[in-house]
Amino acid sequence: MINIIVIILLCAIPILLLICNIYMMVYFQNPEEKGVSWIWRIIVIIAFEFLEMSVFLIPLDVLNAGPPEPIIPMQIFWYIVYYGMIAFAAIILPFGLCWYNQEEDTSYIKKIVYSFIFALIFLVVAAVFCVIFYIIFGVAEVPVNYQSGDLDLTTFNLDKIKAENVKPENDDEESTISFRISPVLFIISGISTIGYILVLFFGGLGFAVLPIDLIFDFINRPEPLKSAQIKEYNKLIGERALAMIDEGKEIKQLTGRKYRKRYSQFREEVYILDRGLKVLNKRRNLKGFLWGYVAIILGVIATLLTLLWMVQLVLWTILKIFPFVDWIMQWMTGPIAFFGAIIYGIFAGYLLLCSFKAVVYVGFRFALGFVFYPFEVSNTYMNAFCFNGILLVLIAFGVNQFSSETFSNFLTGSSFHSFMGEAITQLRYVKYIYKYAPFVMPILCVLMLVFMLLSKLLCKNKREKDALDILLEYENIKPTN
């Protein structure tokens, strides 16, 4: 029965994720790029499919590993997914990033040559760093309460090493098994460690951003407009649009400092007018009203998931007291195996979603608020899709590693557990990241929570003004009741 469920889910989950990824592409893409770049849109969608499948394969792996005997070779799936993700992050998406960073009038041949050279340089630099880091960090130092015998260093299955090649000396004496892991595992370990650090940052921020944003989507939900208000807004927008046509003609005749100042003001007015028109059309067609009530339900669920993640993280990952959520998963994997896997999928998927939300909300912001390749709704270009695709692939590696550390008991016996092994968290010097870095996530979560609440609640009006209210204030006109 369990194996049948695994097979059904292996077929159904990719289809559902594909639908979500297509919707996400349409939702975030810039309108200027509609109808073009379909090949790269498909490539980016496939990249997102791979990184999402890497997260949802783990609960399927656990189901497949449980009784009865596994019938699906999940390790083959892991090789396909992980190697595919590495190819996207190291070769394909960097090629696309360079392609779309070039000028539109650049010839097709030059675009191919420049993109190929950039992708090759990126790959060579990454390979050089991998070799250097492999020499320095490629040794796993695993503490055990056993004295090592004749170790087979060609394998990285630590459980097998302990069972077959290590003999007990003294139960109270702790020894260390030191062995150099394979280059392939080291590459996966290195990418997972980078992703692990990104998850600590973006995941910690996202745990606060996602529930708070959903709750305030309910607080700031739009209100229906009366017919008199709609007529007044239409009149206001129409009159202002005609006036701005004349202003545009006047600005063209200006030069120097006066031109720059008036043009900056003009652009601001155009933005406000455009936002006001879009909001008016939505509120006239009653769009967005239902979302406010859906958002509060999702916000409550997200808040509970964030709290449970923090409880598990503090009680088990940091303090090693009691694996609360992990214990629930294990208990449900016994009598109700399917539900244990569902719970893991919910928690791991939520961590990936929170990280994605933080990428959208925070992104790479530098001094003076400059945003590097912003991932914005209806304003995301293909170069931003490629850049953030690389970032999210790395984060997916980190989500798997972080979740496997947080819910280690649940994953015992799965193909993922044997595929990754324990050596990844015990690499020389790198092991201190896994030992001390988890403290960062709850701290970031609390700081971001406090920042968002202060910024949203300590303002004059708790309810945010929409574009129509701003437009009215800008024109010093009061709405008709």
- Do the Cβ atoms of 423 and 156 come closer than 8 Å? yes
* Pair (359, 396) in one structural domain: yes
Tell me whether residue 166 is in a domain. Answer: no
Q: Which helix (H) or strand (E) holds 177?
A: strand 175-180
Q: Partners of 142 in the beta sheet?
A: 177
Total count of domains within the chain: 2
Alpha helix (H) residue ranges in 317-420: 324-333, 337-361, 382-406, 408-411, 415-420
Query: Both 273 and 348 in a single domain?
Result: no
pTM, full prediction: 0.80
Ranges under pLDDT 70 in the chain: 1-3, 6, 35-36, 66-70, 144-174, 284-288, 333-337, 363-371, 421-423, 458-481
Looking at the fold, whether 123 and 264 belong to one and the same domain comes out as no
Distance CA 404, CA 315 (A): 16
- Note the residue count of the chain: 481
102 and 80, same structural domain?
A: yes
Given CA atoms 160, 166, 171, 172 in this order, what sign does their dihedral have?
negative
User: Does residue 40 lie within any of the structural domains?
Assistant: yes
pLDDT value, residue 425: 82
Residue type at position 286: L
Let me know whether 376 and 398 are in one domain: yes
Same domain, 192 and 258: no
Residue 389 lies in a domain: yes
Domain that holds residue 365: 2-138+181-216+331-441+448-457
88-140, pLDDT tens digit by residue?
999 999 999 998 888 777 888 888 899 999 999 999 999 999 999 999 998 88
Q: Are residues 20 and 40 in the same domain?
A: yes
pLDDT for residue 84? 94
Asked whether residue 156 is domain-assigned, the answer is no
Residue finishing a domain among 253, 269, 286: 286
CB 441 within 8 A of CB 204: yes
Angle at which helices 204-219 and 289-312 pack, to 10 degrees? Answer: 150
Q: What pLDDT is recorded for position 373?
A: 78
Dist. CA 342–CA 332, nearest whole Å: 10
Token representation of residue 140:
């796993």
Which pairs count as long-range contacts for 280-284, CB under 8 Å and 24+ apart, including other chains?
280/225, 280/230, 280/233, 280/234, 280/237, 280/468, 282/222, 283/222, 283/223, 283/224, 283/225, 283/468, 284/225, 284/230
